[in-house]
Amino acid sequence: MTLTQHMLARIAAHGPMSLADYMAEALLHPTLGYYSTRDPLGAEGDFTTAPEISQMFGEMIGLALAQAWLDQGAPAPFALVELGPGRGTLMADILRATARVAGFAEAAQIHLVEASPTLRAEQAKRVPQAQWHDDITSLPDLPLFLVANEFLDALPIRQFHRDDGGWREVMIGGGEATLTAGLSAPAPIALLDHRLKDTKAGDIVEHCPALPGLVQTIAQTIATHRGTALFIDYGDWRSLGDTLQALQNHAPVDPFAAPGTADLTAHVDFEAIAQNAAPARYSRVTPQGVFLERLGITQRAQTLAANLSGPALDAHIAAHRRLTHPSEMGTLFKVIALYPEGAAPPPGLDP
């Protein structure tokens, strides 16, 4: 049975499903879901993340976390955590970059939050000392130094269309052999009451049901035990518009044509992160390019370039540009941090 057939049977039995339920099935169905069945990263996969573009990304993140750790008194032990670690490349680069920070490696307990068995196997090759978790609820009660790069964008969303009668939610139904997106009857939606002031008929607003609880749990840990959390993703301050996209072989495809075979993501609403940051503090949202430049990525790029020539040098220059330039990932991707009351935000970010 294909995932499309499985979903059509579910819809026939229980009626149309929300976009959030559809995304959860498409990405995480235990035997047919996208992340359950493949390594999606790199040239052979469907998309490429910043850590796979250049080691410089992970080095900058690692040194920022290490400085935040030092600024907070170098607590030991502490939990060094990554959400959605891909192949483990980012964490491996973080550990290499921080190896000379006195006491950091000895105090760090490595924890990776990963649902995909396929990706856990890849992570174990690069970070064999890690402990794995299905979700954040089983993380230890320790100072928490966490990074989530392109993690929130894969969390399932609900999508609502504004009209004169309230909001119409995108629902997934089906014909005999295909899945189709439609709209519910208009109704008031309490969780979107605050968006009535800044939207009009025809506007689309997205809501990520899992984000508030996730951010609140991390914020509470940081407020209680100290630490910092870096969220790096594409998105903007407030959700507006249809941002659902499906990628297959590095190209956009119909998100409903063949669930389980393409990556599904949506832009992150950074305002929602800030709204759920209490009792921790949150930094100003900063473009990825500005953040990396403040951390010294250009100086690091120049140091690495001194030993390169020809195609290797060309690739290195292109990687630096892709990570930082406004027309590449530099502006679309943004960074926000959580940190404790009384502490400074991590390097590269403003309060």
- Share of the chain residues as helix, strand and coil, in percent rounded to the nearest 5: 40, 25, 35
DSSP per residue, 38-105:
---BSTTSSB--HHHH-HHHHHHHHHHHHHHHHHTT--SSEEEEEES-TTSHHHHHHHHHTTTSTTHH
The pLDDT tens digits of the residues spanning 109-145 come to 999 999 888 889 999 999 999 999 999 999 999 999 9
- The rounded distance, in Å, linking the Cα atoms of 210 and 200 is 26
Number of other CB atoms surrounding residue 134 within 10 Å: 9
> Alpha-carbon distance 98 to 68, whole Å?
12
Model pLDDT, residue 115 = 85
Q: Does the pLDDT of residue 42 top 70, yes or no? A: no
Instruction: Give the tens place of pLDDT for each residue, 160-171.
Output: 999 987 999 999
Residue pLDDT, tens place only, 214-264: 999 999 999 999 999 999 999 999 999 999 999 888 889 999 999 999 999
Average pLDDT over residues 84-95: 96
Contacts by residues 182-186 (CB-CB < 8 Å, ≥ 24 positions apart)? 182/16, 184/16
Report which DSSP code applies to 244.
-
pLDDT above 80: residue 36: no
Rounded-to-integer distance, Cα 73 and Cα 43, Å? 41
pLDDT for res 44:
57
Going along the chain from its start, the domains and CATH numbers come out as: 35-155+211-238+248-339 (3.40.50.12710)
What is the pTM assigned to this prediction? Answer: 0.94
Give dist(CA 247, CA 252) in Å, integer: 5
Q: How far apart are CA 80 and CA 62, in angstroms?
A: 10
Whole-number percent of the chain with pLDDT over 70: 97
Query: Strand ranges (DSSP E) for 150-266?
Result: 158-163, 166-174, 179-183, 204-207, 227-236, 245-248, 251-253, 263-265
Distance CA 256, CA 84 (A): 24
Cα 44 from Cα 35, distance rounded (Å): 15
User: Does residue 32 register a pLDDT over 70?
Assistant: yes
Give the tokens for residue 196: 């009535």
Residues 81, 108: contact at Cβ < 8 Å?
no
